[in-house]
Amino acid sequence: MAAAMAAEPAAAEAEAEAEALGLFTGIGLSEAKARETLRNAALSAQLRRAVLQARGELGPRLDKATGALLYNAAARLRDPGRLAFLVAYIGRGDIRSDLQLGAALQYLRSHPLDPLDTADFERACGVGVRVSPEQIEEAVEAVISRHREELLAERYRFNMGLLMGEARSRLQWADGKSIKNEVDLQVLHLLGPKTEADLEKKPKATKARPVQEEKQKVPVVENGEVGTEAKSLLEQLRGEALKFHKPGENYKTEGYVVTPNTMALLKQHLVITGGQVRTRFPPEPNGILHIGHAKAINFNFGYAKANGGVCFLRYDDTNPEKEEEKYFTAIREMVEWLGYQPYAVTHASDYFDQLYSWALELIRRGQAYVCHQKVEEIKGHNPPPSPWRDRPVEESLLLFEDMRKGKFGEGEATLRMKLVMEDGKMDPVAYRVKFTPHHRTGDKWCIYPTYDYTHCLCDSIEHITHSLCTKEFQARRSSYFWLCNALDVYCPVQWEYGRLNLLYTVVSKRKIIRLVETGAVRDWDDPRLFTLTALRRRGFPPEAINNFCARVGVTVAQATMEPHLLEACVREVLNEQAPRAMAVLEPLKVTITNFPAPETIHVLVPDFPADESRGSHKVPFQPIVYIEETDFREELDKGYKRLAPRQPVGLRHTGYVIAVQNVIKNASGRVMELEVTCTKSEVAEKPKAFIHWVSEPLPCEVRLYERLFLHKNPEDPAEVPGGFLSDLNPASLRVVDNALVDRSVLAARPFDKFQFERLGYFSVDPDSREGKLVFNRTVTLKEDPGKA
């Protein structure tokens, strides 16, 4: 008996599926396409209604062309309430082509409120317009006449698509196939049949090699400003950004929900903003920003700037348990370091009173309720429905007031919203109890709003036009629109883009804390990390980070990049910004026995050898100099070009060549000193190499950094089964305690940057103290092929 009862719904379901399958294949869909449509419940329901309505007007047999129009209408129409209106035009034959259907859909999207002006609608999509064969013939004849000389010269190698396009532009609603047939006919009449020469492949035109100056510039965004020689930032955001709506045209966005109040709210919004683009960067102040945030900063601030708009820096300070003042300060510092100035600095907590009032209103409207399920019960995507979902409004209002007064403990009550999100999550939490004083509001509140509740409403209050966020928030888009509309407030548009990730690193706050706690790194600004404070400490210029973000661009797909691509941007900027100096990491003493002067010679060294007009500095040249230990060998190997007993070298910038006369070793046989003679470059045989050196140098500490992790994806269990802490590179930091640097850097301050000749780019570390500068190697001069 029970089995029979269970079988009945299954049989009915199978029968309904078979009926819909027959309906869909009957309009020309293949069986595979029909089954695929059935898997989309919303689309199949819409298409079924469209087909049944059309059958009622045209009879049971619909031709394939009509079927295609009905399918496209059902799939592309955003407002199901207007389906019958559109299908009626298809059924009467007033809309007969994809071109007309596209125009009709665009019109309906741009006019979301009823009643529609039917005369205006019909004009917009060509209803009643009939294009005769004579009109097509005349239009094609005019186009061919315009291009007659080129056609006769190029014959069938001419781009016939150009003729098609121009004829179509003259006759907007003409059938494309009819235009093509007429073009083919008139071209044949003019040129005659194709000859053997016409059938030969068109030779490729030899492209003139562009002169160096005319090459397309690499995109550069400096200090948040778009460089005059580069593409604009908006062009860099080609793709997703160019699909964005104009201010006030939110309703044209896919999925945007239009209510009876929408147009009035948008009109009011435009009065407040003056039609200005408004974005926001909304970090949580519970950690340090990383390279992924740099993309978000560039996108939000850059998109606003490129469109003459403004960008807010808004702290999402809704979780007082994890927030610290140092994070607020560091976040703003990093935004400004990247070259951006917020239009205003705001906090979610600025709006706590308004958010609370709206929560009460949401309850009054029957759209929220107080729930007592535990956190563990409502985790995941298939939690049991709340038994308190339908509790009376008055009861929820009283209980929510009790929550505010602290009558419930943490976890004993939450305020939940009545909606199902895109990912299937049901009734997200709007407020929870937390007995933690807030850094700005003190102990005024013991209930705090969640991201799902706060974010869209803060955007609404600030009249944000484009709420730009990463792809993982796409599942929250429906709740974003739902909440604004449930409260009848201005609803911005949420746009999602792909995150920026780097290989060979971790950026999650929890994992960085573990690295700090275990001593793997010193702190959040350890130069081996990819937090923005760490990159600044290592010496990465902000312009290079901005350039990198511009090159990565903005797409829906997640971008996972190799660190060497960022390092290439760093080299480009530092090559132009970092003055040259000389330093020796492993010093070897060299005594010049025939030094050519009784006192110190001051050698002039250009700060930028490629452009000596940018300045220079002097360094002392004395009888005792220091060279790199690796620049000397006792045995002269094949291919070795630096200093050896029978092989002189030049000393950079001095105009002298030195030759070894004596090698002094200690008791264990290690070379401790060289005695050499020097000869002026113009009389000496040209040496095979010139090496750097220092004289009367300053002692310094140099920190040489490599990748922190050994594998590309240290968080991937398949790649690193032991977890990310097991993947640490033991050679990620080498400290050179007794390096020497020339005296030109004596006045250097933290974050000053230099190119140490032949060694790489270096930045002064904040650990520097009087008498002992500390330098971080930012990047090597050239990319290590092994890291690419």
Closest CA to 75 of 22, 128, 33: 33
State the virtual CA torsion across 462, 466, 468, 472 in degrees, nearest 10.
Answer: 100
Active-site residue, 177 included: no
Name beta bridge partners: 660: 676
Q: Which of 284, 336, 496, 673 is catalytic?
A: 284
Phi, psi of 675, deg, nearest 5: -105, 130
Q: Which two tokens stand for residue 357?
A: 């009032």
Alpha helices in 464-578 (DSSP H): 477-486, 509-517, 532-538, 542-552, 563-577
Q: Which two tokens stand for residue 82?
A: 């207007």
Q: Which two tokens stand for residue 373?
A: 């399920």
Closest CA to 566 of 592, 535, 603: 535
Output the CA–CA distances (angstroms, integers) from residue 712 to 504, 559, 562, in the order listed.
4, 14, 9
Tokens 């490629």, residue located: 610
What's the CA gap between 550 and 299, in Å, rounded? Answer: 9
Q: Which of 157, 252, 440, 499 is catalytic?
A: 499
Q: What does the buried/exposed string (b/e) look like for 245-263 if buried means 16 or more CB atoms within 10 Å of the residue's CB?
A: bebbbbbebeebbbbeebe
Output the CA–CA distances (angstroms, integers) from residue 686 to 132, 257, 395, 405, 646, in the order listed.
85, 78, 95, 87, 14
Active-site residue, 499 included: yes
Closest CA to 306 of 216, 228, 235: 235
Query: Is the Cβ–Cβ distance between 411 and 373 less than 8 Å?
Result: no
Query: Is the Cβ–Cβ distance between 543 and 574 less than 8 Å?
Result: no
Q: Which of 509, 551, 589, 743 is catalytic?
A: 509
State the virtual CA torsion across 76, 77, 80, 84 in degrees, nearest 10.
Answer: -110
Active-site residue, 642 included: no
What's the CA gap between 135 and 422, in Å, rounded? Answer: 50
What's the CA gap between 156 and 158, in Å, rounded? Answer: 5
Query: Is the torsion defined by CA of 329, 330, 333, 335 positive or negative?
Result: negative
Between vectors from CA 112 to CA 108 and to CA 115, what angle results, nearest 5°?
A: 90
Query: Is the Cβ–Cβ distance between 310 and 494 less than 8 Å?
Result: no
Q: Rg of the Cα trace of the chain?
A: 36
Count CA atoms closer than 13 A to 472's CA, side-chain side: 2
What's the CA gap between 642 and 623, in Å, rounded? Answer: 20
Catalytic positions: 284, 499, 509
